[in-house]
Chain A
Amino acid sequence: MRSFDDKKPRGKSLLRFAAPQVFYPLAGTLAPWFAAAAALLALIGLYVGFFVAPTDAQQGEVYRVIFIHVPAAWMSMFIYLLMAFWSAVGLVMNTRLSFMMARALAPTGAMFCFVALWTGALWGKPTWGTYWVWDARLTSQLLLMFLYLGYMALTAAIEDGRRADRAGAIIALVGAVNVPIIYFSVMWWNTLHQGASVSLTQAPTMATTMLAGMLLMAVAAWAYTVAAAFWRVRSFILERERIPTGWVPSLNDRRTVDGMGFLERFLEHGRSCMVRLGQLRRDHFVHCYGTVSGVSPS
């Protein structure tokens, strides 16, 4: 049987990251940074959105759900396009990693789609007067949710990894046609959902601080997507590369199998600091009062 080292590519082309065993440690190193960036940006974005951005003249405070609803909706659409892109790459180039990346992105996209639908419904009731209407925008977004669920169900149901990839690719590519329909629905048809406040071709129709908050949340959502997809794809790589190629991650890979090395170390450090602090306080108490429980130590 050929050993793992035979597959190591020579030269420093970026394409070497198309190999799952090369991408695995890179994803493990990058993911915590993106996660930290996501947390930081989300904190700042939510602060700007909830405390800095002004009250809307028409909707009052209820409009502030926009800082969650819009970034989630944007990401749900963008992630599906990414899934379609990686599926197409996998079909054309016959690679393994691109399919794994598509499958890794799906749950995050589904989550954002779910969040967009629910925050939208909760926003619609006090403003429009209803939780749901079957207009083009909402209906196509609901269809996107079904596509995500269908993709995840189909790829999970088929045992053979490669066949599952190809079946899922069909859903990803066909469903990608829905994404421009969602985006342009408010332009092409009469809808209850309002048009775009932010577009690439026109000036934004919202105050600058509102826009800033929304963009911060969008970048935070994107960073979270990268972190989540990278961590998830590592599981796929472990699952699917072990048997066919005999590859296991080396112990030199600083990011261990669970991929949470940095976070675990950080939390463990904090925990041990707290324990030590408690001990120090106890010792000081005993030093001052001679006892902890009311019985002198003798």
Chain B
Amino acid sequence: MKRRSKRLLLLGGAGALLVGAVVLVLTAFQENLVFFHTPSEVVAGKAPQGRAFRIGGMVEEHSIRRAEDGLTVHFSITDMAQMIPVTYKGTLPDLFQEGKGAVVQGQLDEKGQFRASEVLAKHDENYMPVEAQYALDSAQMNKAAESVQQ
């Protein structure tokens, strides 16, 4: 066949092999590529034992409590199925709020509490103007008020 078609075939074949190799490597490394575990995975025992790891989820509503020393904070991180209590001593990011995402890094102690060494706020890909957020919140509040009245 023409030299050009042969080169194209060779290149295509090499490319396919490369993609296959990368796919295999990535699937083999799934365990190591995990940036954080969900609370369900931690409860199920799938999180690494004896070393630091990260838990990602949502900060549970009404769970943030500050200790007497003013610096330590207790909260719970949840994925709507399971919940892990977390203790953290230090400054929290500005975006850290109840009902919003967070990623905590640390270790699980014997009592099942997670001692965090680092807390990061995770925000989603939604960008909403202040007015739209206000309208959304008002609508939700009205809905809640209606359901209470009924």
The interface of chain A, by Cβ under 8 A from chain B, is 54-59, 63, 66, 88, 91-94, 126-130, 133-136, 173-174, 177, 181, 189-192, 194-197, 205-207, 210
A59 to B94, CA, bound (A): 9
A189 to B54, CA, bound (A): 14
- Contact residue range for chain B? 35 or more
* Chain A residues closer than 8 Å to B19, beta-carbon distance: 177
Check if A192 sits within 8 Å of B129, measured CB to CB.
no
- A129, A194, A206 pick with most chain B CB within 10 angstroms: A129
Check if B122 sits within 8 Å of A128, measured CB to CB.
yes
Task: Check if B103 is an interface residue, CB within 8 A of chain A.
Answer: yes
* Chain B residues closer than 8 Å to A134, beta-carbon distance: 35
17 sample A-B contacts, Cβ–Cβ < 8 Å, listed by A number: A56-B130, A58-B128, A63-B127, A88-B11, A92-B8, A92-B11, A94-B7, A127-B94, A129-B92, A129-B93, A136-B35, A174-B18, A181-B26, A191-B35, A192-B103, A205-B125, A207-B129
Known A58-B128, A128-B121, A192-B122; 20 more pairs at CB < 8 Å: A57-B130, A63-B127, A127-B93, A127-B95, A128-B120, A129-B120, A130-B120, A133-B35, A134-B35, A135-B35, A136-B35, A174-B18, A189-B34, A190-B35, A192-B36, A192-B120, A194-B123, A205-B124, A205-B125, A207-B132
Check if B121 sits within 8 Å of A127, measured CB to CB.
yes
B109-147 residues with Cβ-Cβ distance < 8 A to A are: 118-134
- B15, B118, B129 pick with most chain A CB within 10 angstroms: B129
Identify the closest chain A residue to B127 (Cβ).
A206
A181 to B22, CA, bound (A): 10
**A48, chain B: closest CB distance, angstroms:** 14
Check if B132 sits within 8 Å of A57, measured CB to CB.
yes
B6-28 residues with Cβ-Cβ distance < 8 A to A are: 7-8, 11, 14-15, 18-19, 22, 26
**B99, chain A: closest CB distance, angstroms:** 11
Task: Check if B39 is an interface residue, CB within 8 A of chain A.
Answer: no
**A207, chain B: closest CB distance, angstroms:** 5
A189 to B31, CA, bound (A): 10
Identify the closest chain B residue to A134 (Cβ).
B35
**B89, chain A: closest CB distance, angstroms:** 15
A130 to B36, CA, bound (A): 16
* Chain A residues closer than 8 Å to B129, beta-carbon distance: 54-57, 207
Task: Check if B75 is an interface residue, CB within 8 A of chain A.
Answer: no
**B80, chain A: closest CB distance, angstroms:** 15
Identify the closest chain B residue to A211 (Cβ).
B127
Check if B4 sits within 8 Å of A93, measured CB to CB.
yes
**A120, chain B: closest CB distance, angstroms:** 13
Check if B127 sits within 8 Å of A205, measured CB to CB.
yes
Among candidates A174, A195, A197, residue contacting B127 with C-beta atoms closer than 8 Å: A197
Question: Which 4 A-B pairs have CB atoms at the shortest separation, nearest pair first?
Answer: A129-B93, A57-B133, A54-B129, A206-B127
Check if A92 sits within 8 Å of B7, measured CB to CB.
yes
Check if B121 sits within 8 Å of A195, measured CB to CB.
no
* Chain A residues closer than 8 Å to B33, beta-carbon distance: 136, 189
A156 to B2, CA, bound (A): 32
A144 to B2, CA, bound (A): 35
* Chain B residues closer than 8 Å to A127, beta-carbon distance: 93-95, 121, 123
Identify the closest chain B residue to A130 (Cβ).
B120
A174 to B14, CA, bound (A): 10
Identify the closest chain B residue to A88 (Cβ).
B11
Among candidates B8, B37, B95, B126, residue contacting A197 with C-beta atoms closer than 8 Å: B126
**B129, chain A: closest CB distance, angstroms:** 3
Among candidates A56, A92, A190, A207, residue contacting B36 with C-beta atoms closer than 8 Å: A190
Among candidates A135, A136, A191, A194, residue contacting B124 with C-beta atoms closer than 8 Å: A194
Check if A207 sits within 8 Å of B127, measured CB to CB.
yes
A189 to B35, CA, bound (A): 8
- B11, B33, B127, B131 pick with most chain A CB within 10 angstroms: B127
Check if B126 sits within 8 Å of A128, measured CB to CB.
no
* Chain B residues closer than 8 Å to A88, beta-carbon distance: 11
